[in-house]
Amino acid sequence: MNGIIPEYVDGVSIVIPTYNRCLHPNDERNPLMWCISSIKQQTYEGLEIIVVDDASTDNTHTNMTQKCRGDLNGIDLKYLRNEERKGSSISRNIGASLASNELVLFLDDDCIFMSKDAVAAAVYSFKETEREGNDIGAMHLPVYYRSNRFKNVLPVKEILGIDYENARIRCSTSSFPKERSEFKEDDYFKGTHILKPLEVNNLAGVFMCNKEVYLDVGGFSDYFPTPALGEEHELAQRMTESGYKLFFAPDPKSALLHFKYGREDKEPVVPFGPLHHNAVEFPLSLKEMVDESRIVRDYTGNAVTVEEGMYSYVFGRSMIFSGNESCKRRFKERVKDEIIENNGYVYFNRKINDRDLRERICLDAISAAEMKYNAL
């Protein structure tokens, strides 16, 4: 890996919660299998994959049973199926509890690594940052399905930040940080071509953490609605309040492509070309995989109505801002102005045009969050 001696031999447990991501009987057209294939090709040794199936109704159980019997290049594969849907937060907690290694990497089931050196580069970044004296809670990996073109360059506080002053959450993990756009020598770990992580105060779905830290703060909260929008942000808040630091690793060597499988509102963009010489290989081309992911199906993990999305959005942010009265007030004002009055909430390219229904959903979500927060 660019001349780096893999001095860190810590094992990594990759936890993947999944729901209906094996719609076809053959592996090559299923995003969960693309994800596992990209892990199988990683150069880093000591990997374990833990797939937690949230009561899928498609071919997931059959395909995973066959996969457990197959050859995964020495990678240990654990597969557990929930008897009923529990949601991604509880599924992640179940997966983490089964992890055999110190480092845990949470991965979405429609993500693929772009490079065979992705995990090795991520572990190096994590351990070197830790060795420099940082008490790391988690380190987010880049999701460069757009910003490998370097068109979307933002300050890091807008990539993964919780803006308490304005009661807003920033979560643009497909953007490249402006602070690293000039590529100065000090931006790299000495003697390597790996960019140093930048400190942030928020998380999204794909991040690496120390299992002990994760358990210390209680893991993901199990009270978020399904679908959940905001559980990572709430976990990030608890980590920072407990004194742990959060980082964003901007190095393209650790980049993933997130297909946003079945999402009309977030269509993935095929990269111009491989980001790395040591690129991951697939039976399908990236274009074919993106075309497959564009087909919207109402029974996949992204099968979320606009009503469910709005409720979860308001509930999650209400939980995060409930600890500060001024933040809570500002967020309520934003909900009233941006969502209830001006119909600014969009999910799956859909809006709720009934103003009374928008108000009822938002007020119900805020009320539920306040009751839950006060009960904690």
Same domain, 318 and 257: no
For residue 323, is it within any domain? Answer: yes
State residue 146's pLDDT score: 47
| 52-70 average pLDDT score | 91
Question: Can you give the chain as a three-state secondary structure string?
Answer: CCCCCCCCCCCEEEEEEECCCCCCCCHHHCHHHHHHHHHHCCCCCCEEEEEEECCCCCCHHHHHHHHHHCCCCCCEEEEEECCCCCCHHHHHHHHHHCCCCCEEEECCCCEEECECCHHHHHHHHHHHHHHCCCCEEEEECCECCCHHHCCCEECHHHHEEEECCCCEEEECCCCEEHHHCCCCHHHECCCCCCECCEEECCCCCCEEEEHHHHHHCCCCCCCCCCCCCCHHHHHHHHHHHCCCEEEECCCHHHCEEECCCCCCCCCCCCCCCCCCCCECCCCCCHHHHHHHHHCCCCCCCCCCCHHHHHHHHHHHHHHHHCCCHHHHHHHHHHHHHHHHHCCCCCECCECCCCHHHHHHHHHHHHHHHHHHHHHC
Residue 343 lies in a domain: yes
Same domain, 99 and 124: yes
Q: Which of 244, 267, 294 is the last residue of a domain?
A: 294
What are the pLDDT digits (tens) for 248-292? 998 888 888 888 776 665 555 555 555 567 889 998 988 888 888
pLDDT score, position 3: 47
What's the mean pLDDT when you consider all of the chain?
88
pLDDT of the residue at 1:
47
pLDDT in tens, 164-200: 999 999 888 878 899 888 888 999 998 888 899 999 9
Mean pLDDT of 34-44: 94
Question: Is residue 167 located within the same domain as residue 193?
Answer: yes
Q: Is residue 107 part of a domain?
A: yes
pLDDT the model gives residue 188: 92
Same domain, 219 and 119: yes
Pair (280, 328) in one structural domain: no
Last residue in a domain, options 294, 321, 343: 294
- Do 235 and 345 have their domain in common? no
Mean pLDDT value across residues 69-91: 90
Q: Which residue has the higher pLDDT, 153 or 91?
A: 91
Note whether 207 and 317 are same-domain residues. no
Indicate whether 220 and 359 sit together in one domain. no
Answer with the one of 294, 315, 346 that is the final residue of a domain.
294
Q: Does any domain span residue 17?
A: yes
Contact 348, 229 (CB under 8 A): no
pLDDT tens sequence across 3-13: 454 566 679 99
0.85 cut: is pTM over it? yes
Q: Is 187 found in the same domain as 222? A: yes
Q: For residue 40, is it within any domain?
A: yes
Q: What percent of the chain has pLDDT over 70?
A: 90
User: What one-letter code names the amino acid at 333?
Assistant: E
Shared-domain flag, residues 91 and 28: yes
* Residue-level pLDDT at 229: 80
181/310 same-domain check = no
For residue 287, give the CATH number of its domain. Answer: 3.90.550.10
**Of residues 129, 97, 122, 74, the one with CA closest to residue 15:** 97
pLDDT in tens, 102-156: 999 999 999 999 899 999 999 999 999 999 999 999 999 988 654 445 567 889 9
Q: What's residue 7's pLDDT? A: 63
> Does 348 have pLDDT greater than 90?
no
- Please say whether the beta carbons of 15 and 95 come within 8 A: yes
Residue 61 lies in a domain: yes
Greatest mean pLDDT among 57-66, 223-232, 260-269, 286-295: 57-66
**Within a domain: 35:** yes
- Which of 55-59, 78-82, 84-88 tops mean pLDDT? 78-82
Residue 152: predicted pLDDT: 78
Q: For the chain, what is the domain count?
A: 2
Q: Are residues 196 and 316 in the same domain?
A: no
Q: What is the mean pLDDT of residues 356-362?
A: 98
State the residue range of the domain holding 119: 12-294
- 44, part of any domain: yes
